[in-house]
Amino acid sequence: MKMTVIGCGYLGATHAACMAELGHEVLGMDSDVDKVHTLNTGKAPFFERDLDDLLAKHTESGRLKFTASYQEAANFADLHFIGVGTPQQPDSDAYDLTHLFDAVTKLAPGLTRPAVVAVKSTVPVGTAPRVAELLREHAPAGGLIEVAWNPEFLRESFAVEDTLRPDRLVLGFTTQHSWAEALLRQAFGKIIESGTPTIVTDWATAELAKGAANSFLATKISFINAMAEVCEKAGANVAELADILGHDIRIGRRGMRPGLGFGGGCLPKDVRGFITRADELGAGEAAGILREADAVNTRRRRRIVDLAREELGTDLRGKRITVWGAAFKPGTDDIRDSPALAVAQALHDLGASVTITDPKALDNARKLHPELDYVEDPMAAVEDADLLLHLTEWPQFSHIDPERLAARTHSPKVIDARGTLNTDQWRDAGWITRALGRV
Ligand code: UGA
């Protein structure tokens, strides 16, 4: 079966490669010609486990190609997935839908025969009718274009696995859809046949599903981080508390790791976008819980800055701080709304000299924060440091021998914001340790 994927970022490039893996003929489309060139050489323009292998395999097999031409995409297939980014607006908490509406408006003139446009981008509820209207207005095939809503639940660093083996598929349609459902069922054939729960619903429920899922995940993280605040005052240990709670299967242990809170290109902006849309719809009270989740999350970042000042004195001028971690989470080079970089920048703004190390995200971080210093080797990074902050829990960091590390620094002090360092071992090696969520 032939299909296109419009927008080849983290979501679209992965979706295109995985659709080729399922046996389809796929044309990925992105207006960034450099990105298209890189993808056509079988490489991802970002780091995502297993993705390069799939891209190389299918650009070579000929099942996967990329283009920067909307016209070529429109001609290529009758099923078009759209996975462009919907970031937060720079001056408000609402979604910026410019890329989505731009992609639909540019694809539309080439749609001269009936087609299905299946949107995967995360949006505020109520966007699907606007997409359908744009297609009616700008596509020669007008009313014969069907719109489907197919939210994506993949996690970065597990993107390929989550796309090929999702825990559910959600397909949203209007009441009048003659072949959109059939085409999507064919596209996801192998995934559906393997027993993946497939929920067919209306547009609004499908749109809400994504925002609600991310809002729930964010709230779960903020819940345990709120408990961390209480643990710090009560002399309790939040890691053990999370473990105890997690044994109750109604609570579950996954997605409830305490620490520096959530970041990335999705959870923070989806929580804020959801609140904004709920307010617009007159359901602002229902979003109160999300306002609190967002506030707890922001407080975690401030807490690390406060702890650093407790250790080094309120005046940070002339102090040298090393930060382990720049990516918003391990396993990715994505630094969008990275808690680690937010803390690093805040410390720099207070006068500290900040040196950062990260296994994958240094180039991206350097571009966005040129005023900070960067070192590749996490051992070398602590030389001259007055304080070490562990802010992104790459496994590489927890494998470092604290005794060898202590020999490299004149001031063995560490704050573990992610709870994955064995602080008993670090203390035995001579380090003064502090951690979030315990005394
Ligand atoms: C998130 C959702 O998990 C996906 O289901 C969703 O599809 C995706 O957003 C999206 O909207 O595209 P992702 O941002 O890749 O995926 O990362 P997560 O693994 O959910 O982590 C998000 C943030 O929460 C990270 O900063 C992570 O460090 C933090 N986190 C996660 C915690 O602090 N504790 C946890 O227990 C889990």
The domains of the chain, with CATH numbers, are 2-196 (3.40.50.720), 211-294 (1.10.1040.10), 302-435 (3.40.50.720)
- 3-state secondary structure at position 116: strand
Cα 153 to Cα 168: distance, rounded to the nearest angstrom: 9
342 lines ligand 1 (CB under 6 A): no
Q: Are 155 and 265 in contact (CB under 8 A)?
A: no
Q: Considering only CA atoms, which of 306, 230, 232, 225 is closest in space to residue 262? A: 225
Cα–Cα distance, 434 to 439 (Å, whole number): 7
| Residues 14, 161: Cα–Cα separation, whole Å | 10
Q: Among the options 8, 18, 231, 266, which is catalytic?
A: 266
pLDDT in the model for residue 438: 85
Query: Which of 225, 237, 224, 223 lies closest to 439 in space, CA to CA?
Result: 237
Containing 39, the helix (H) or strand (E) segment is: helix 33-40
Does the annotation count 266 as an active-site position?
yes
pLDDT score at 219: 98
pLDDT exceeds cutoff 90 at 178: no
pLDDT at residue 246 greater than cutoff 90: yes
What does the mean pLDDT of the chain come to?
97
Average pLDDT of the residues in 21-35: 98
Over range 66-84, report the average pLDDT. 98
Q: Work out the average pLDDT over 208-233.
A: 97
Distance CA(175)–CA(141), nearest Å, equals: 19
Residue 70 in this model has a pLDDT that exceeds 90: yes
For the Cβ of 156 lying below 6 angstroms from any atom of ligand 1, the answer is yes
Q: Quote the ligand 1 centre to 336 CA distance (angstroms).
A: 12
Residue 177 confidence (pLDDT): 74
Q: Is pLDDT above 90 for 335?
A: yes
pLDDT digits (tens, 9 = 90+) for 143-173: 899 999 999 999 999 999 999 999 999 999 9
- Which residue minimizes the CA distance to atom 6 of ligand 1? 153
Residue 176 predicted with pLDDT over 80: no
Output the six-digit token pair for 56: 């190389």
pLDDT score for 318: 95
Helix/strand/coil for 172? strand
